[in-house]
Amino acid sequence: MTSTATPALGSDPAVLPDDASGVLAYAREQRAAADLAERRLLEAAVQWAIIHPAETLDDAEGYASRVHLAGVDEQPVTLAGPGAPLVREFTVAEFAAAIGVGTETGKHYLGHAIELRYRLPRLWARVTSGDLPAWKARRVAVETISHALTTEAAGFVDAHVAPVAHKIRPVQLARLVEEAIGRYMPDHAEKRRRRAADGRHFTIDRDQISFAGTSRVTGELDLTDALDLEDAIRGIAAQLADLGSDDTLDVRRSIAAGELARRQLALDLTCEDEPDPDLEGEQPADTNPPCRTRKSGTRSRTVLHLHLSQAALEGRDAVGRVENTRCPVTADQIREWCGRPDTALTVKPVVDLEDHVHVDAYEVPDRIAEQVALRDHSCVFPWCTRPARNLRPDEHPCDCDHVVPYDPGGPPGQTCSCAIAPLCRRHHRLKTHSAWTYTILEPGSFLWTSPQGYQFLRDHEGTLDVTADRRNPRRPRPRD
C-alpha cells in the first residue's frame, strides 16, 4: 500500500510507501541517488581545477609574476598535498559560491577532490566507479592533507586503505596514517613526538558562549602548577562561603577563578643587570644576573561589545547580544557584568543605522566604520562570516570597501555610509582584482555577481542563490 505524501514547497509530488519494508527500500534508493550526486560533484570539482590551473610547482613563481605584471594580484594556491596541481586563487571563491558554501569550505572541498584524483588514485577509482561513497573517500583525503603526507606516504595509505575504505573505522585510519608518517617521514615523526611530549594547554572557549553568559575552560597543566591553582581556587571559594555566599561549591569555584584573574597582577620574568638585593652578599660577582619575577602595573583587558535595546533597558525585553561571540545572552547577565566594581564601562551613543554619514576624503573615518560594522556585522561576501569589527587582538578587522571604486576626480561625498561595505581581506582582494562585482540594493542588502554570471543575494538573513536556472545537460568529465 502506498500513500501520497504532502510535497515540500517547490518539490515534485512524491508517492511514498506506508509499509516498513517499502520505506526502507525507498530510503536506500535516495541514499544511492545522493551518493551518485556527491560523486559527480567531486568530479566537477576536479574538472574545475583542471580548467583553472596554475600549471606546476615549477611554474608557480612565473605564474605569479605574470599575473602581477598584468595588474592582477592573484596567487597560485595549494589545496592538496605535495605533487597535486595548483589552482588559481580567485577561482576557488566562485566554485564555492556556485555550490552554496563559503570560500573556506569550498577550498577544502576542492582540496579533497584534487587529493583523491592525483594522490590517492586507488580510492579515486573506487569513487568514480560507484563502488565507494564519496564521503568515505573524503575522510581519507582529510587525513592525508592535514598531516601533509609526502607522495610516498600518501601512496602507502592509498594502497592499504583503498581495499577496505568502505568499512575502515576512523581509529584504524588514524593508525595507518601514523604508520605512514613513521615509515616515510621519520624526521617529521620525531618532531611530532617531541611536540606531543608537551601537551600542556589552557584554553578558554570564547566562541561558544551560552545563553546564560558562561563559557568552557579546559586545560592540562604541570602537576605543581595544577596543585597551586587548586589551592588558590579552593581558598577563594572558601572565602566566598565565609562571606555568606549560598552558591554551591562548583559555582563558588567558578567564581573564584574569575576573582583570581581579576585580583592578581601579571608577573613578568625579567633579567636585570643589577644584583637582586635579596641575594646581595650571597652571589659571586662574575655570575650572570639573576632572573626573577616582578609585579607589573599593567595587564590586558578583555573588551566585550554588549548590545541592549531600549526595551531591555526598560525591563521589557529579556535578551541582549554579545558582539564578540555573536550570541544572545540574558539582559540580566549583561547587567551583572556591567555592575561589577572592576568593570571599565564605556557607554556609546545610539548609532542611527539609517543615517547617511559622508565625507569627501578617500579614507573611511571611524564614525562610518562603526556604523557599517553595526549594520552588517560581518564580511558581506556570499556565505562569509568573518566579523566586521576586530574583536580579538590577533584578528584583522574587515576592510571598509567602496562598493563603487573611489574616483579622485569624482563628485564629493563618495565615502558615504550608504556606499561602504565591510569585506574581509581575502574577499576585498577578490573584489578588487577579479571580475566579481556587487551592488547595494538597500543598506545591508547586497547583490553579488560572479565572473561566470552567478548571482547571490546577501543580507542579514544570510546568503541566497538567486541565479536563474542555468543547468546544462552536458556534464563535463574529468580529463586524464
Shortest CA distance to 328 belongs to which of 312, 315, 316? Answer: 312
Residue 138 pLDDT more than 90? Answer: yes
pLDDT band per the 50, 70, 90 thresholds, residue 220: confident
pLDDT at 240 over 50: yes
Q: How far apart are CA 323 and CA 381, in angstroms?
A: 19
The confidence score (pLDDT) of residue 366 equals 86
Beta bridge partners of 218: 203
204 or 88, which is more confident: 88
What confidence score (pLDDT) does residue 135 get?
95
| Higher per-residue confidence, 371 vs 45 | 45
Who contacts 66 (Cβ-Cβ below 8 Å, separation ≥6)? none
User: What confidence category does residue 296 fall into, taking pLDDT thresholds of 50, 70 and 90?
Assistant: very low
- Report how many domains make up the chain: 3
Answer with the one of 147, 180, 195 that is the final residue of a domain: 195
Q: Is residue 347 part of a domain?
A: no
Instruction: Mention every residue, 6+ apart, whose C-beta is less than 8 A from residue 397.
Output: 373, 387, 388, 389, 390, 422
| Residue type present at position 452 | Q
231 within some domain:
no
**pLDDT at 435 > cutoff 60:** yes
Stronger pLDDT, 123 or 346, i.e. the higher one: 123
CB atoms within 10 A of CB 180: 26
* pLDDT (average), residues 66-83: 72
Q: Which of 2-6, 194-198, 383-387 has the highest mean pLDDT?
A: 383-387
pLDDT band at 305 (very low <50, low <70, confident <90, very high): confident
Residue 224: band (very low, low, confident or very high) from pLDDT cuts 50, 70, 90:
low
Residues 314 and 383 in one domain: no
- Which pLDDT value is given to residue 283? 45
- Whether 12 has a pLDDT exceeding 50, the answer reads no
Q: Contact 146/181 with Cβ under 8 angstroms? A: no
Same-domain check for residues 322 and 405: no
Q: Vertex 359, ends 353 and 363: CA angle to 5°?
A: 100
366: Cα separation from own chain's centroid: 26
Give the pLDDT of residue 339: 76
* Residues 313 and 421 reside in one and the same domain: no
Same domain flag for 362 and 333? no
pLDDT of 478: 43
Does pLDDT of 299 surpass 50? no
Q: Is residue 480 part of a domain?
A: no
Q: Is residue 331 one of the residues assigned to a domain?
A: yes
Confidence bin at 262 (pLDDT 50/70/90): confident
Q: Which of 167, 195, 223 is the last residue of a domain?
A: 195
**146 with 68, same domain?**
yes
Lowest mean pLDDT among 116-125, 270-279, 354-363: 270-279
Q: Is 74 among the domain residues?
A: yes
Q: What is the pLDDT of residue 160?
A: 94
Looking at the fold, whether 33 and 137 belong to one and the same domain comes out as yes
The yes-or-no verdict on residue 290 having pLDDT over 60 is no
Q: Mean pLDDT throughout 284-306?
A: 50
100/127 same-domain check: yes
Mean pLDDT of the chain: 80
Q: Tell me: pLDDT of 282 over 80.
A: no
Residues 344, 302: Cα–Cα separation, whole Å: 10
**What distance in Å separates the CA atoms of residue 171 and residue 161, rounded to the nearest whole number?**
13
Tell me, yes or no, whether 318 and 448 share the same domain: no
Answer yes or no: do 55 and 96 share one domain. yes
Do residues 157 and 144 lie in contact, with contact meaning Cβ atoms separated by under 8 Å? yes
Where does the pLDDT of residue 187 fall: very low under 50, low under 70, confident under 90, or very high at 90 and above? confident
Q: Which residue has the higher pLDDT, 479 or 19?
A: 19
- Is 213 in contact with 255 (CB distance < 8 Å)? no
Which of 144, 171, 195 is where one domain is finished? 195
Average pLDDT over residues 76-85: 92
CA distances from 90 to 67, 202, 403, 427 (A): 12, 37, 19, 9
Q: How confident is the model at residue 314 (pLDDT cuts 50, 70, 90)?
A: confident
- Binned at pLDDT 50, 70 and 90, residue 55 comes out as low
Q: Could you tell me the pLDDT band of residue 313, with boundaries at 50, 70 and 90?
A: confident
Which amino acid is present at 472?
Answer: N
Residues 77 and 104 occupy one common structural domain: yes
On the CB side of 289, CA atoms within 13 Å amount to 11
Are residues 420 and 390 part of one domain?
yes
Of the two residues 294 and 97, the one the predictor is more confident about is 97
Mean pLDDT of 196-203: 73
Residue 441: give the domain boundaries: 358-465
In a domain, 78, yes or no: yes
Does position 322 have pLDDT exceeding 70, yes or no?
Answer: yes
Q: Are residues 323 and 365 in the same domain?
A: no
Q: Give residue 197's pLDDT band: very low, low, confident or very high (50, 70, 90).
A: low
Most confident of 34-43, 221-230, 312-321: 34-43
Cα 288 to Cα 48, 276, 477, distances in angstroms = 62, 11, 70
- Selection from 34, 44, 31 nearest residue 113 by Cα: 44
Q: How confident is the model at residue 40 (pLDDT cuts 50, 70, 90)?
A: very high
* Low-confidence winner among 234-243, 274-283, 334-343, 371-380 (lowest mean pLDDT): 274-283
pLDDT band at residue 14 under the 50/70/90 scheme: low
What 3-state class would DSSP assign to 2?
Answer: strand
- For residue 392, tell me if it sits in a domain: yes
**What is the amino acid identity at position 395?**
E
> Does the residue 383 lie in any domain?
yes
Q: How many helices (H) and strands (E) does the chain have?
A: 15, 19
The CB-side HSE value for 373 (13 A sphere, CA atoms) comes to: 22
